Structures are given as C-alpha cells and as structure tokens.
Amino acid sequence: MPSLRSLVEELGQRALRLIVDLGAMSLLAGRTLYHAVTPPYQPRLLIAQMDHIAVRSVSIVGVAGLFVGLVLALQTAYGLARFGAKGTVGIIVGLSMVRELGPVVTAILVGGRVGSGFTAELGSMKVTEQIDAMRALGVNHIKKLVVPRVVITMLALPLLTVIANALGVFGGMVISQYEFNVDYHQYYTTFTQYVKLADMLSGLGKTVFFGFLIGLVGCYNGLTTRGGTEGLGRATTGTVVMSSLLVFISDFCFDGHAVLRGLDLIIRPGESLTIMGGSGTGKSVLLRLIIGLLKPEAGQILLEGQDIVPLPERDLLSVRRKVGLVFQGSALFDSLPVGENVAYALREHTQWDEAAIRARVREVLDLVGLDAVEQKDPAELSGGMRKRVAVARAIALPPRILLYDEPTTGLDPSNVEKVIELILDLKGKLGVTSVVVTHDIASALKVSDRLALLHEGRIAAVGTPEEVQATHDSLIRDFMIGRVER
C-alpha cells in the first residue's frame, strides 16, 4: 500500500510539473508573439538565424527527403505490383510526401538539429549568467534571443519542407523507373493529376505551426536550464524528445522555496553597503531582486521611489539602465571580444556613432585599469581582468547604482586588493551607490560605509564597520570569527 501511495504521489508531482511547464511555456509564447510584431525590428538577427537554421539544414533535409522518397516508392511499388497497379506509385508517393511525410520528417530533423541547438546556446548562456547579464544591461532578452529563433524557424520550415518534398518525389520517380520500369512521364502525369494545390498547402501550413513549437520548446528549455553542464545535457535531450512528440501530436490533431522572508532594508543614496551572510542565505537573490531579474512573491522594492515589483519586463528595461550589475562569474559574452562586451549596452541603448562608442569603451577600460585589451577574447583574460571587464561593462552607461556579486571570490590576494581599490575608486569618481555582496569579511570592512548581516532570510543586523566590530551581538560575533557558516 505504501508503494502504491508513493507511486500516486510521484505521478501527481509529475503532472503538476507538466502543468507548470505548460503554463510557463504559454506565457513565453505570448511574449514572443507580442515582441515579434512590435518595433524595433532587428533584421540583422533574423538574417543570422536564417543562415544557422535554414541554410545549414538544407543538406540534411534534402538527403533525408530523397531517401524517404526512394524507400517509400520502393516498398509501395512492391505492394502495388501484386495488383498490377504499380503505375499509380506516383500518386501515393506524392500525396504521402506533401501531406505527411515531408512536413513531419523535416520537422523532426530540424527539431533535433535546430531545437537542441537553441537549448544548448541559450542554456549555456543561462548557466554562465550571460542572459541575466543581458537583462541587467536593460536588454529585452526575449526580443533579442527568442524572437529571431522562433520567427525564422517558422519561416524556414516550410521552405525546407518544399525541398524535402521535391527531392522525395524525385527519388520516388528514379526508383520507380529503374526498379519497376514506371515511365517518367507516367509518374509525373499521375502525380500532377491527383496531387492538388490544397494538398501542398495543407502540409506546408502545418510546418509553420511545427516551427513555432520547435523554436518555442528549444528556447524555453534553454532559458529554464538549471544544474550546470549536467542540467544542460538533460535540457538538450528533453528538447529533442519533446519537440518530436509535439510534432507527432500536433500533426494528428493540433519546484521552489522561500529564501528571503520579511526582509526590510534601506540603502542610502551614495553609500557603500555590503551585505554579508553564509552560503545559501539569499545574498545573490537579493541583488537580483533589486535589479528586477527576480520578482518576490510579496512586498515592495522601491528604486528611487518607484515600486518595481509590479512592472512588466518591458518597463523594467528602462529601470535597469540606471543600475549596473557585476556578476560573480563576470558573465561576459564569450562570443564577443572585450571591446564589444563593454560596448554592448551602448549599441543597444544609444545612437552614438562608432567613434563615440570606441572612445567610451577606452575611457571605462582605462577607468578600471585595463589597456589594449579591446580585441582580446574573454577566455584570454585572467580572473581578475575578467572581473574588471565586467565592471567596465556595468559602468559603460553611467549607472546610479552599482551592484557587486561576490567581487573577490576566486581571486588571488593581489587581485583581491585591486578589486577593492577599484570599488572604492569608482565610488569616489562616479558618486554611485554601491551594494556589495560577499562573505569575505576583510574585504567588506575595507569597502563599506555600512554592513548588513543576512541570516535566515532576514536582515539580522546593520551598522558601520566600527559598530559591527565592537558589537556584543552573539550572532554577528560568531559570523565574524567563523562559527556561522559563510
């Protein structure tokens, strides 16, 4: 009986997860369609995806279509020959290819190649925080990453299906002639006589919907990837399986816990506030809440007097332009050189000419102590240099608030000192409000006007470095000497 109960519970949990995923995917579908029809339009991104999705899929779709036609004609003609009707093989091959096999085979192949590619691309960006970095820079990631992929998949799939259909019908004609002596003219005549335009449009119409499903599933699984490379592998496999199942089904018819609870914190303009706490206490979550990358289930987040919690994503984009976020892992776009990483927000949000952008890039790189690195790839840089490039990118559009997520983690002592000096230097030169998240007490004492200790989802204490060091509060003293897990 217990085993039956656990089975029912497991089935129930799976059903609930499925409902949640379907709901989230529906929301993504709605947002994708909305951003696809609203300006600004970005044809350059569509052209780049057309090459990746359509042009590079022609060979595999063409070969598959040809051999599907060959096999279909071969097996059909063997059966028809028993009844003396092998001359009608053109009708069966033609109708089968244009109505069902061509669209479905093309969709499955494109879903396996392109859909999994979407998941791998967006999933790796998600795991390395590049998508969060894009959102933090005030860029609409749905319009930038999802819309081009979904739209071009919808447009490319009918074109690829036409190629598969043509080669499949051609393959059937070749095998019919050489294996069963069915005259080319007879094959062509029966095909054109019985395969109508409505049959072709019926098959091609389905592929637009197939393309939407493939693009949506691939992007959704990429955007929701969790668990590092292992999670990315599961998401990619899931995309292939799910897109294939959805193609077949549509062809026939058509977990979380509270991290922060009751938190109340006021950050003063122009100050440097450091948030400390043990691992897993929600320090990084708090930064993401401040910039609107995450939404709380309840409460308010006032940024310059405006509650950002109820704001939709499109309104949050303008808010985020006031805030710079330096990610723990830097989250540099590994496909772009350093200069283009720093210039990213400038190209997205300004009308500056190339000379002005280049001048600003050099200015902020000089501000963080880097020289002659614009043409280098992020992979060529040391950890400390990557961190400083991330800071330069965050201040390219002059922010009013700078958020630092574990800025010294993983750095050697000399680079730790450089980052500390940089935070202090930028606070003085730019006059920004700085919020630093760290468990490094020595660094926190050096960069902070005030310190806040986060414990069990709440701010347990706030004070100046002097007040924190002189306190008799047992929780703070235990954290300072390492009795509370950092």
Cα gap 436→425, rounded to integer Å: 14
Residue 394: predicted pLDDT: 92
Distances 382 to 370, 388, 406, 412 between C-alpha atoms, Å: 12, 10, 17, 11
- With bands split at pLDDT 50, 70 and 90, how would you rate the model's confidence at 254? very low
User: What pTM value is reported for the model?
Assistant: 0.74
Mean per-residue pLDDT for 72-98?
80
pLDDT band at 253 (very low <50, low <70, confident <90, very high): low
Question: What's the gap between Cα 283 and its chain centre?
Answer: 23
486 has a pLDDT exceeding 80: no
Question: CA of 414: how far to CAs of 75, 385, 420, in Å?
Answer: 73, 12, 10
pLDDT in tens, 288-306: 889 988 888 888 898 888 8
Residue 82 has a pLDDT of 66
Element spanning 199, H or E: helix 197-223
Q: What percent of the chain is predicted at pLDDT more than 90?
A: 28
- Does the structure show a pLDDT above 70 at 2? no
Give the phi and the psi of residue 167 in degrees, each rounded to 5. Answer: -70, -35
**Mean pLDDT in the chain?**
86
Q: What pLDDT, in 10s, does the model give residues 315-328?
A: 888 888 889 999 88
Domains and CATH numbers, the chain: 2-252 (no CATH), 272-480 (3.40.50.300)
Q: What is the pLDDT of residue 65?
A: 92
Angle at which helices 383-395 and 354-367 cross, to 10° = 130
> Which is more confident, 273 or 84?
273
pLDDT above 90: residue 455: no
Look at residue 182 in the predicted model and tell me its pLDDT.
79
Identify whether the C-beta of residue 213 lies closer than 8 Å to the C-beta of residue 243: yes
pLDDT digits (tens, 9 = 90+) for 304-358: 888 999 998 888 888 888 899 998 888 888 888 999 999 999 998 999 999 999 9
Q: How confident is the model at residue 428 (pLDDT cuts 50, 70, 90)?
A: confident
| 36 pLDDT more than 60 | yes
> What's the pLDDT score for residue 158?
94
- Reported as a single tens digit per residue, the pLDDT across 390-421 is 999 999 998 999 999 988 887 888 888 888 88
The CA angle 269-271-274, to the nearest 5 degrees, is 125
**Region of 380 on the Ramachandran plot (φ > 0 left; ψ -120 to 50 alpha; else beta):** alpha
Count Cα neighbours of 474 within 13 Å in the Cβ-side half-sphere: 0
What is the tens place of the pLDDT at every residue in 100-111? 889 999 999 988
